[in-house]
A and B are shown apart, each in its own frame.
Chain A
Amino acid sequence: MPIAHMPTTVPVVVDEAKCIADKGCTVCVDVCPLDVLRISDLTGKAYMKYDECWYCMPCETDCPTGAVTVNIPYLLR
């Protein structure tokens, strides 16, 4: 039984021009209660890897460069 991927539009978006994860910053990844953010091996920038969001906002509030925006998940928008 193969496991399929189900596409979703993710609530947390990162402005890659502002994100400084490639300089070693991991603040948003560290503070997320659901642990859904990661640093991309390809771009060196933070992104939302798992669509498991409580739209609680520590990632956005604690980001030192204002790169992170939390949107309301589409299903309850």
Chain B
Amino acid sequence: MDEIREGSTEVSCDVLVIGGGTAGPMAAYRAKRRNPNMRVILLEKANVKRSGAIAMGMDGLNNAVIPGYATPEQYTKEITIANDGICDQAPVYKYASRCFEMIQELDRFGIKFQKTENGDFDVKKVHHLGSYVLPMPNGDTVKKALYRQLRREKVLISNRYMATRLLTGRNGQVAGAIAVNTRDAEFLVIRAKTVILCAGAAGRLGLPQSGYLWGTYENAANSGDGYAMAYHAGAGLANLECYQINPLIKDYNGPACAYVAGPFGGYTTNNDGNRFIECDYWSGQMIQEFYNELQSGKGPVFLKLDHLHSDTIGEIEAVLHNVERPSRGRFHQNRGTDYRERMIEMHISEIGFCSGHSASGVFVDEFARTTVTGLYAAGDMASVPHNYMLGAFTNGAVAGEHAAGFAEEIDLPDYDIGEVEREKTRVLAPTKRDDGVPPNQIEYKTRRLVNDYLQPPKVTAKMNLGRMRLAEVRDDLENRMVARDAHELMRSLEAASIIDCADMAATASLFRTESRWGFYHHRVDFPEKNNDEWFCHSILRKQDGRMTVEKRPVADYIVPIEESERSAYDRQRIRKSA
């Protein structure tokens, strides 16, 4: 295993789904359900059984809109306000209207949702305004349940293939993808009528404070390949300057987590043991207050559980130490941290792109369509803000159904064989060198520069310098990087995705000359929000081989927001009473 073999196979399909984490399996499943005669390929860099953000399951739904508890109008309003108004509401409203049907579907798959003694859904309040959090008692089984459905519907699964570039047809429409096997470097050229990108967050963009490249918040396999592929195919990417930064267990770099501990009575405090934020829901404004507290001398910041009853803490442990990031328990055990006796030290994460928690994603409409014909995106990498796991499932379903319908209407697009040959040359270049810089050093330097120059507080002169330094690393990546086996080749391709994302982060951040989304886009030399000039999306794309950014108006709201409601998320800091 791992020796480089040169070879290439061509296959074709109706719907190609890239990424087998959360949105991807649901997209493939729904495409096949819509039309069982369809050839649907699900491509995954790892193994669909245990890939993506929910490799070990999930503790619950963070954004369930359940009749009787919340309405699509309420939810759309909350997310619009949480995202500082920069929100095309149609995809959010579509999600909010369809997510209950998805909950019922997941229930049929065997995933349980917590009920009260009366048999009602046990919905908890964590957001600033409404109630949307619903625990999943057997949330560790989500991936298994999905995998069973994929097998039943005869979705064609190709594990250990990394897509590297999308193929485009004569009129710029998507025509498939090129992928490389991560264990022998053989190519797979997949012609497709439609492609759905579900490749997850750009989670290996910033460097964690531990210095360990793989100690990221996101699944470290999520290196932003989807963002890079969409960019090179000419798709627009929205609001990339609205980074993802999360409050996490310091060093462990996983969630603690407000959605689990909050409903039991846990909360975030400073070193005095006092609350300083009104609401633990993850928003840019909340992270700004978190950062301010860390810098204020009242830090560090902690998650406080030690005031709770031992049995209650036992319930919290049963969740935190069994699903999503189960090694949390081991981490605390090593340090002798018992939640009953000691508060948990928290910190803010490295930066990333992820619409699951913020808004930085490939621009999509309410049908999950990108700006490239035939190309769809869903999950953490698509621009529907704050959409979490249930958003990935629901929008994955939307994408799968629409893509299957579109594929029924069109012929397989032609592609340019020259494009394939050029891509093979690019991919294999690091394997043709006997000497040079290994991908781990290229990646470390890129991500260290991201921390030094691109993470907030954002300073114009620093970001410009960062771009110069990144250009030097790119020159090394393109001309001096060496990969000795297929595994290192995968890492070298990921390094290319990471530096593409770093360039996009810098370019988008420099474009928006105001501050917005709290800490996510805190520009020191433009400290105020400027609605007159910047109440708009930024759309970044590749035009004539160059990275460009332009403004795009926010679509007219479907759900009106009163002037008095707009600043609800701006008032995060607890005010001192007289």
Contact = CB atoms under 8 A, between A and B. Distances in A.
Interface of A: 1, 3, 30-35, 38, 50, 52-58, 61-62, 70-73, 75-77
B56 A61 contact: yes
B334 A77 contact: yes
Nearest to A58: B50
B47 A70 contact: no
B212 A34 contact: no
Contact of B330 (A1, A72, A75): A72
B326 A57 contact: yes
Contact of B210 (A30, A34, A57, A76): A76
Interface in B121-155: none
Contacts of B227: none
Contact of A76 (B56, B221, B251): B251
Contacts of A38: 1-2
B469 interface: no
Contacts of A71: 330
A5 B212 CA distance: 17
B435 A31 contact: no
A58 B220 contact: no
Interface in B421-437: 435-436
Interface string B310-336: 000000000000000111001100110
Interface of B: 1-2, 46-47, 49-52, 55-56, 160, 182-183, 208, 210-216, 219-221, 251-253, 325-327, 330-331, 334-335, 435-436, 438, 482, 484, 487, 490-491
9 contacts: A31-B49, A33-B219, A35-B182, A38-B1, A38-B2, A52-B214, A52-B491, A57-B327, A76-B210
B186 to A, nearest CB: 15
A76 B220 contact: no
Contacts of A3: 438, 482, 484
Contacts of A55: 215, 327
Contact of B215 (A30, A31, A76): A76
B220 A62 contact: no
Closest 6 CB pairs of A and B: A76-B210, A58-B50, A31-B50, A75-B212, A33-B46, A76-B251
Nearest to B324: A56
Nearest to A59: B50
Nearest to B327: A55
A75 B211 contact: yes
B220 A52 contact: yes
Classify the secondary structure of B's interface with A.
Answer: loop
A33 B51 contact: yes
Given A33-B221, A71-B330, A77-B331, A54 B216 contact: yes
A69 to B, nearest CB: 9
Contacts of B252: 72, 76
B55 A56 contact: yes
Given A30-B47, A35-B160, A52-B220, A75 B215 contact: yes
A11 to B, nearest CB: 9
A73 B49 contact: no
Most buried by B among A1, A61, A72: A72
Given A3-B438, A56-B219, A75-B215, A33 B327 contact: no
Contact of B331 (A30, A52, A54, A72): A72
Nearest to A71: B330
Given A35-B490, A76-B212, 17 more contacts: A3-B438, A32-B47, A33-B220, A35-B160, A54-B221, A55-B327, A57-B56, A62-B50, A70-B330, A72-B252, A72-B331, A72-B334, A73-B210, A73-B214, A76-B215, A76-B253, A77-B331
A31 B160 CA distance: 10
Contacts of B326: 57, 61
A64 B385 CA distance: 40
B56 A58 contact: yes
B219 A54 contact: yes
B56 A70 contact: no
A1 B2 CA distance: 23
B50 A54 contact: no
Contact of B46 (A34, A57, A72, A73): A34
Contact of A1 (B216, B436, B491): B436
Given A33-B46, A35-B160, A73-B212, A54 B220 contact: yes
Given A33-B46, A53-B214, A70 B220 contact: no
Nearest to B143: A58
Nearest to B335: A77
